[in-house]
């Protein structure tokens, strides 16, 4: 990838965040809000899939499952970038123990709260103690039982958190291996080799998904949820993190990202065109069934999600209507409560089906959305402000301080 030096003036605003390991990207929270609404509407559509909504609306809602690839690309970008920024600066990077503690505090309090509420609310009975441990440990993707067992349907979407957790576990190890292997190279060479490593990860994920189609192994239904089947999505975000870290290192323009930073509207137009093309293909009516169409769809989803995210990663957040929309306080707020929203929305959709007397897959789409959406927002706000936020305040404190306090001075 070409790196050009064009003077300090051209680098101002090239990134959507100031340089540094822990830079905040003010436009990216909005993408969490957009992704959560896409996933919500996709699941509401699936609950009413037997009802005709019209060719255009039906085709669009069918493809709103692209919300999940958006989350995966975004997560990989934000989490890998601090490691690369440190590597380019000759520093050791975030400590693995600190990284893992942050991820645990970010995910598990909200997940345990939601799972416990839903288990009690729906009267779910685990088949065994080990099954309960598996769900609470976010290991359900790797069990012998079906992840989408109807008995656990209100929390089935949490399989993606298990996939994220696997990525969290491997990321510091990958970053450490790259830092050790590339420490003798200059920054430009490191960037090229890191991009090459991301390409290898991308190809590995694509080939794994193709293997599931070609070989049709007995464990296919579970394997489609595992990290290897989504590795290409994470690899795309990691590659963007490398580019972002390279720009942050000395402000030099990485072609063609200077043009990308100046044309957010073009990026959204291209993403919209790709999405339109996806909508022209009829998807399999059952989610996460591995077919040739699914392999193609996921590859295009990754490209579409990446292009869609670019305006929030590169470019001056103070300029342009698109970035003004993305960094709006309302969007930041919605992005903040997105985890709780994601965890509770299927449960409220299921309850809305019950309350309206809908048969499976024949719910009234607008009816269940009107019921489930405000209730999910309420649950998400409670989850964020009462459960998540207190734990987020604790994530940077030493573990010893959580149970040991120094005596007050007199």
d(CA 181, CA 365): 53
Q: Which tens digits make up the pLDDT trace of 294-306?
A: 888 899 999 999 9
The CB-based long-range contact list for 268-272 (8 Å cut-off, 24+ gap) reads: 268/308, 268/311, 268/322, 270/307, 271/304, 271/305, 271/307, 271/308
> How many C-beta atoms surround the C-beta of residue 321 within 10 A?
9
Q: Which tens digits make up the pLDDT trace of 203-224?
A: 999 999 999 999 989 888 889 9
Q: Which tens digits make up the pLDDT trace of 152-187?
A: 777 889 999 999 999 999 999 999 999 999 999 999
User: According to the 3-state scheme, what is the secondary structure of the chain?
Assistant: CCEECCCHHHHCCCECCCCCCCCCCCCCHHHHHHHHHHHHHHHHHHHCCCCCCCHHHHHHHHCHHHHHHHHHHHHHHHHHHHHHHHHHCCCCCCCHHHHHHHHHHHHHHHHHHHHHHHHHHCCCCCCCHHHHHHHHCCCHHHCCCCCCCHHHHHHHHHHHHHHHHHHHHHHHHHHHHHHHHHCCCCHHHHHHHHHHHHHHHHHHHHHHHHHHHHHCCCCHHHHCCCHHHHHHHHHHHHHHHHHHHHHHHHCCEECCHHHHHHCHHHHHHHHHHHHHHHHCCCCCCCCCCCCHHHHHHHHHHHHHHHHHHHHHHECCCCCCHHHHHHCCHHHHHHHHCHHHHHHHHHHHHHHHHHHCCCCCCCCCHHHHHHHHHHHHHHHHHHHHHHHHHHHHHHCCCCHHHHHCCCCCCC
**Residue 403 pLDDT exceeds 60:** no
Q: Give residue 36's pLDDT.
A: 96
Q: How confident is the model at residue 16 (pLDDT cuts 50, 70, 90)?
A: confident
CB of 328 within 8 A of CB of 320?
no
d(CA 86, CA 104): 22
Let me know if 283 is exposed, middle or buried by CB neighbors in 10 A (0-12, 13-18, 19+).
middle
Please name which of 71, 100, 114, 35 lies closest in space to residue 387, comparing C-alpha atoms.
114
**Residue 406 pLDDT exceeds 50:** no
Q: How confident is the model at residue 18 (pLDDT cuts 50, 70, 90)?
A: low
Over residues 346-366, the mean pLDDT reads 94
Q: Which tens digits make up the pLDDT trace of 233-261?
A: 999 999 999 999 999 988 877 778 889 99
Whole-structure pTM value: 0.91
């Amino acid at each position: 990838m070409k790196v050009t030096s064009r003077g300090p003036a051209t680098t101002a605003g090239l990134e959507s965040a100031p340089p540094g390991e822990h830079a905040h990207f003010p436009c990216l929270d909005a993408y969490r809000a957009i992704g959560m609404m896409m996933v919500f509407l996709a699941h509401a559509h699936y609950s009413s899939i037997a009802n005709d909504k019209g060719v255009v609306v039906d085709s669009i809602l069918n493809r709103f499952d692209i919300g999940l690839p958006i989350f995966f690309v975004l997560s990989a970008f934000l989490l890998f970038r601090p490691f690369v920024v440190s590597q380019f600066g000759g520093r050791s990077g975030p400590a693995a123990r600190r990284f893992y503690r942050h991820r645990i505090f970010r995910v598990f309090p909200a997940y345990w709260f939601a799972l416990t509420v839903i288990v009690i609310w729906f009267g779910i009975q685990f088949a065994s103690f080990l099954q309960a441990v598996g769900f609470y440990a976010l290991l359900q993707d790797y069990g012998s039982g079906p992840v989408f067992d109807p008995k656990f349907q209100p929390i089935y979407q949490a399989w993606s958190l298990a996939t994220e957790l696997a990525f969290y576990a491997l990321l510091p190890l990958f970053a450490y291996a790259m830092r050790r292997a590339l420490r003798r190279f200059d920054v430009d060479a490191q960037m090229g080799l890191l991009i090459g490593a991301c390409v290898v990860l991308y190809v590995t994920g694509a080939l794994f998904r193709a293997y599931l189609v070609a070989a049709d192994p007995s464990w296919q239904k579970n394997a489609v949820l595992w990290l290897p089947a989504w590795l290409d999505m994470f690899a795309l975000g990691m590659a963007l993190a490398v580019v972002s870290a390279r720009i942050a290192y000395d402000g030099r323009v990485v072609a063609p990202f200077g043009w990308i930073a100046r044309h957010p509207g073009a990026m959204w137009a291209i993403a919209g065109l790709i999405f339109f093309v996806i909508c022209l293909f009829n998807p399999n009516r059952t989610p996460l069934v591995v077919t040739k169409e699914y392999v193609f769809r996921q590859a295009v989803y990754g490209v579409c999600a990446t292009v869609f995210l670019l305006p929030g990663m590169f470019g001056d957040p103070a300029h342009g209507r698109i970035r003004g929309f993305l960094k709006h306080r309302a969007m930041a707020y919605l992005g903040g409560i997105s985890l709780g929203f994601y965890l509770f929305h299927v449960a409220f959709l299921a309850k809305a089906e019950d309350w309206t007397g809908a048969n499976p897959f024949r719910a009234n789409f607008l009816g269940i959305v009107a019921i489930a959406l405000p209730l999910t927002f309420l649950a998400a706000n409670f989850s964020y402000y009462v459960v998540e936020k207190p734990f987020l305040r604790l994530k940077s404190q030493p573990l010893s301080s959580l149970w040991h306090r120094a005596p007050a001075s007199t």
